[in-house]
Amino acid sequence: MLGFRLLPWEYGVRNLFRRPGRSVLTLGGLTLVVLLVFVVVGFVRGLETSLAVSGDPRVVLIHSLGGGDNLENSSIPARSAALLSASLEGVQRRQGTAYASPELFLGTNVSTEGDAEPAMGAVRGITPAAILVRRRVQVIEGAWPKAGEVLVGRLASAKLGRGAAALAVGRTLAIEGQSWRVSGHFAATGSALEAELWCPLEDLQRAMKRQDISLVAVTLAPGLDAGVIDEFCKERLDLELAATPETGYYASLQKHYKPVRTLAWLMMCLVAGAGVFAGLNTMYGSVVGRIRELATLQTVGFSRRAITIGLIQEATLLAAAGAVVAAVIALLLINGAAVRFTSGAFVLRIDSVALLIGCGTGLMLGFVGALPPAFKALRMPIIEGLKAV
C-alpha cells in the first residue's frame, strides 16, 4: 500500500467541471493535436497497405531491360506476348490458354466532361487475358470495356482530382484527345491498380500511335517460382527482356517512398511535440490559478506527491477524452478518405496501429504536460501559496 493519502478520484473529476471554459478549450486543443496525429499515421498506414497488397506472389512482370524501376518507360514488341505464351513452360494454362496479359501502361492527360484543364491519369491498355492474371480485380459496377470504352478503378477519381460523379458509368472521358465512354468500375482489394483507367489495348495503341507494349504479366504455374521466367529471359538475350516478380516491383516502390514515410513520422513527432508545449501552456495557466487550493490541500495533510498524482489524473482524463473524440472523428471522417499520390491514389487507414499510436500520443500529452507545472507550483512554500491571489 502507498504510504500517503491520495486525493479522492471524484475530486479530480469534479475539478474538470468547475472550470468548464478552460476544460473545453483544453479538450479542443488536445483533440486537434491527436486528430492531426491520426491524419499523419493514417497517411503512412494507407500508403504502406496499398503497396503491400498490390503484389501477387504468382505474377511475374516481363518488361524491357532496365524498365523494372519504372514500367512506364518500358517498351517491348507487341508480339512478345504471343512469343512468351508459346515458349514459356512455367506459365499457368487452362484449356490451352496461357495466363499472359500484354499491357500498355502509361501516364497521360485525362479530361472529364466540363474540365478546364486535364489531369494526369494512369492508363492501362489490356486484353481479356488481364482478368485471368489480375485475380484480385472485380468489376463492381457496369461491364468489361468494349471498343471505345474504359473501365474505371475505384480510386481513379481521387487520382484525377475529380468527383466520383465525373467518372460515373455512361460518362465520357477524353484520353489523348479521343473520347471514351465509361463502361464500369472495378475494385482490386485496395491495391495500386484501383487508381487506374483500363481500356482495350488496341484502342489505346491507336490513340497513342504506338505499336509496342510496356509489359507482359504472366501467372506462374502452381509450385514454380519466378526463377523459371528469369532463366528464360537470360537465355534469350536477343529479346532483351527482364523478369520482375510483381511483389518485388512493389517492394522496390516501398523503398522508393521510404523518405516520404520517414518525413511523415517526423511530422507526427513535431505535431506531438507542439501538442506537448500547448498542453504545458494550458496546464501552467490552470495550475497557477489554483495555487491557494493546492497550498490548502497540503495544509490539511495531503502530500505533494499525492497532489501531483491528482493533477496528472485530471490532465490524463482530459487527454483521454480528447483522444476518444479524435478517434471517433478519425474513424468517421478520415478512415477510407482517398488521397492522390504520385504513384496513383490510396485511402487513409485508421486501423488498430493508428488507433494505438493516436490514443497513446493523447495519453502521453496529458501525462507529460501535467508534470512541469505541477512541480513548479508545489515547490512554492505553503505560506506563500496561501497568500496567493
DSSP secondary structure letters along 41-60 = HHHHHHHHHHHHTT--TTEE
211: nearest Cα among 355, 100, 102, 347: 102
Q: Where are the beta strands (DSSP E) in the chain?
A: 59-64, 93-94, 97-98, 100-112, 119-126, 138-142, 149-153, 172-175, 178-187, 196-200, 215-219, 241-245, 338-341, 344-347
Q: Over 50: is that where the pLDDT of 218 sits? A: yes
pLDDT at residue 274, as a whole number: 76
Please answer whether residues 90 and 228 qualify as being in contact, where contact means their C-beta atoms are separated by less than 8 angstroms.
yes
pLDDT single digits (tens) 114-163? 777 888 889 999 999 999 999 889 999 999 999 999 999 999 988 888 88
By CB atoms closer than 10 A (0-12, 13-18, 19+), residue 143 is exposed
State mean pLDDT over 180-189: 93
How far apart are alpha carbons 257 and 186 in whole angstroms? 26
How far apart are alpha carbons 132 and 203 in whole angstroms? 20
C-alpha cell at 177: 484527345
pLDDT at residue 306, as a whole number: 79
SS percent in the chain: helix, strand, coil, step 5: 55, 20, 25
Question: Which whole-number Å values give the CA distances from 57 to 53, 221, 222, 225, in the listed order?
Answer: 10, 11, 11, 9
C-alpha cell at 112: 472529364
State mean pLDDT over 69-93: 84
pLDDT at residue 52, as a whole number: 80
Please answer whether residues 327 and 35 qualify as being in contact, where contact means their C-beta atoms are separated by less than 8 angstroms.
no
Q: Over 50: is that where the pLDDT of 322 sits? A: yes
Q: For a pLDDT cut of 70, what percent of the chain falls above it? A: 91
Q: For the chain, how many residues are written?
A: 389
343: nearest Cα among 110, 59, 122: 122
pLDDT at residue 24, as a whole number: 84
Question: Which whole-number Å values give the CA distances from 35 to 23, 139, 339, 341, in the listed order?
Answer: 18, 35, 17, 21
pLDDT single digits (tens) 276-287? 676 667 666 666
Q: What does DSSP assign to residue 331?
A: I
How far apart are alpha carbons 151 and 128 in whole angstroms? 12
Amino acid making up residue 195: A
State mean pLDDT over 184-207: 92
Alpha helices in 136-198 (DSSP H): 156-160
Q: Would you place residue 288 in the very low, low, confident or very high pLDDT band (cuts 50, 70, 90)?
A: low
Lowest mean pLDDT among 36-45, 246-255, 292-301: 292-301
Q: Over 80: is that where the pLDDT of 318 sits? A: yes
Give the residue extent of every domain in the chain: 9-52+257-387, 59-219
pLDDT at residue 1, as a whole number: 42
pLDDT single digits (tens) 326-372? 999 999 999 988 888 766 788 899 999 999 998 998 888 888 877 77
Lowest mean pLDDT among 1-5, 7-11, 158-162: 1-5
Q: Over 70: is that where the pLDDT of 384 sits? A: no
Question: Rounded to two decimals, what is the model's pTM?
Answer: 0.79
State mean pLDDT over 45-70: 83
3-state SS string for 186-232:
EECCCCHHHHEEEEEHHHHHHHHCCCCECEEEEEECCCCCCHHHHHH
Whole-number average pLDDT of the chain:
84
pLDDT at residue 149, as a whole number: 94
